[in-house]
Structure 1
Amino acid sequence: MSHQGTTRPTLLHIDCSIRQNGSVTREITAIFAAEWRRAHPGGTYVYRDLGSSPIPHVDEAAVAAGLHAREALEENQRAAWAVSEPLINEVRQAGTILLGVPMYNYSIPSALKAWFDRVTVKEHMVGDPGGEGLLTGKRTIVVTAQGGSYGPGTPRERYDFQQPYLRALLEQIGLGRDVEFVRSEMTLAHSVPALEPFRPMAEASREEAVQAVRRLAVTS
């Protein structure tokens, strides 16, 4: 895993799909990462695959470790902090954060929730969505994939606990000012027979997402 230099642009790329093959979010974040690296040949690239290498969910020791001075931690708290600290440092060192997030049961994968729980420490919290914090100023690109369609005006709009939840999580740690969501819809149209009529919509949505990340990568 790469480490940031003092002035180099740095991309933190996180995938969390449990699928290694056929994942729409992995495909699209990989395109962004490749374009970003071409546009920033001297940049630093850091990658975490939470789908294949999940981090432990937080427990009482992990929460306590984030609240107390490091020198005052007990042994189990120090062990918990050893898991959280590298994740926190990666976020702090990144100039651009790229998240690949499939929708699972109307929300986000638990592996990504565990990551957010680790990096949501008191030093990162802001008082309100417009407030400034330690992480304010970074750019965040969120690539989402949804098996159906949950956009405004659709029958299942009220079931989308993915994008609104992600926006709230990002805002509370100061990453809400410069965030772009890139959504690919109807991804199950190629695997669920009942959704086959929506394949053209799925393909158009995917292509729109690809073009969006290509544009965003060269301006990040």
Structure 2
Amino acid sequence: MPNLLHIDCSVRRDESVTRSITAVFAEEWRAAHADGGYVYRDIGAAPVPHIDEAAVVAGLLPPEAWADEHRVGWSVSEPLIEELRAADTLLLGVPMYNFSIPSVLKAWFDRVTVKEHMITVPGTEGLLTDKRTIVVTARGGSYAPGTPRESFDFQAPYLRALLEQIGLDRHLEFVHAEMTLAHSVPALEQFKPIADTSREEALETVRRLAAA
């Protein structure tokens, strides 16, 4: 039975571009996989606690060597790890904040990046390498190749690096919606058509990917 793990991390609710696009993917995927499992985590509304020493040490020691604080720390990480391992498809909705990713998503990655998931030899297989990963991003401006702020994109390259170290880059698709601030920042109003086109293309892409 296929399983989808859907994670949103935007602090915005109804006006969130990433939420609206990932919702379409999830809806189309569930329609195409009527027998599939579905887990949704909204870490924008319910953030994952930042990693602490107890959780890190717990991930390095055998359970029989744990002290009480290690058990407490691991109790936060363990359900996140189990959800990721159970998923066949990982769907991430990731707005760009200050040229990078929301800190709540970094906290989630810190929890699931454990030694059992790490790819220590490039190109080798790991526990997570057979999974499909869809990353839906929203950017207030444009960071496409050839644009003035191409070098300011610390979102997609950073995510690719995080995913690569745990083997989730093997079946990875990025879906970008750009110029999203054109509808709220007067100085960017001239770019509204670009924003609208980018969003429609992103929606078309996620529908295609969900049906695959």
Which TM bucket (shorter chain)?
Answer: over 0.9
| Cα deviations by residue, 1:154-195 (Å, 9 ceiling, x for unpaired) | 110111000000000000001111000000000000000000
- In the other structure, the counterpart of 1:84 is 77
Measure, in 2, the Cα distance between the counterparts of 1:64 and 1:110.
22
**TM-score (norm. length: structure 2):** 0.99
Match of 2:149 among 122, 146, 156: 156
**TM-score (norm. length: structure 1):** 0.95
Note if 1:101 corresponds to 2:103: no
- In the other structure, the counterpart of 1:113 is 106
- In the other structure, the counterpart of 1:192 is 185
User: Stretches of 4+ moved more than 6 A in 1?
Assistant: none
Note if 1:12 corresponds to 2:13: no
- In the other structure, the counterpart of 1:217 is 210
Specify the code of the residue in structure 1 equivalent to 2:42: D
Which segment drifts farther, 120-129 or 174-183? 120-129
* Matched positions, count: 212
Alpha-carbon contact 1:128-1:172 (below 8 Å) kept = no
- In the other structure, the counterpart of 1:5 is none
Specify the code of the residue in structure 2 equivalent to 1:218: A
| Cα deviations by residue, 1:23-72 (Å, 9 ceiling, x for unpaired) | 00000000000000000001000000000000100011111111111121
Q: Which runs of no fewer than 5 residues in structure 1 stay unpaired? A: 1-7
Match of 2:68 among 75, 80, 88: 75
Equivalences for residues 169-184 of structure 1 within 5 A: 169-184=162-177
Q: Which runs of no fewer than 5 residues in structure 2 stay unpaired? A: none
- In the other structure, the counterpart of 2:25 is 32
Alpha-carbon contact 1:102-1:108 (below 8 Å) kept = yes
Tell me: CA distance 1:56–1:175, structure 2 relative to 1, closer, same or farther (3 Å): same
Deviation at 1:74, TM superposition (A): 1.1
Note if 1:21 corresponds to 2:14: yes
Specify the code of the residue in structure 1 equivalent to 2:57: A
Deviation at 1:129, TM superposition (A): 4.2
Specify the code of the residue in structure 1 equivalent to 2:73: A
- In the other structure, the counterpart of 1:122 is 115
Measure, in 2, the Cα distance between the counterparts of 1:91 and 1:73.
23
- In the other structure, the counterpart of 2:56 is 63
Tell me: CA distance 1:193–1:128, structure 2 relative to 1, closer, same or farther (3 Å): farther
| Cα deviations by residue, 1:97-144 (Å, 9 ceiling, x for unpaired) | 000000000000000000000000000000244221110110000000
Measure, in 2, the Cα distance between the counterparts of 1:29 and 1:9.
18
SS in 2 for 1:38: helix
Which segment drifts farther, 113-122 or 66-75? 66-75
Tell me: CA distance 1:159–1:76, structure 2 relative to 1, closer, same or farther (3 Å): same
Match of 1:135 among 128, 133, 137: 128
Alpha-carbon contact 1:129-1:174 (below 8 Å) kept = no
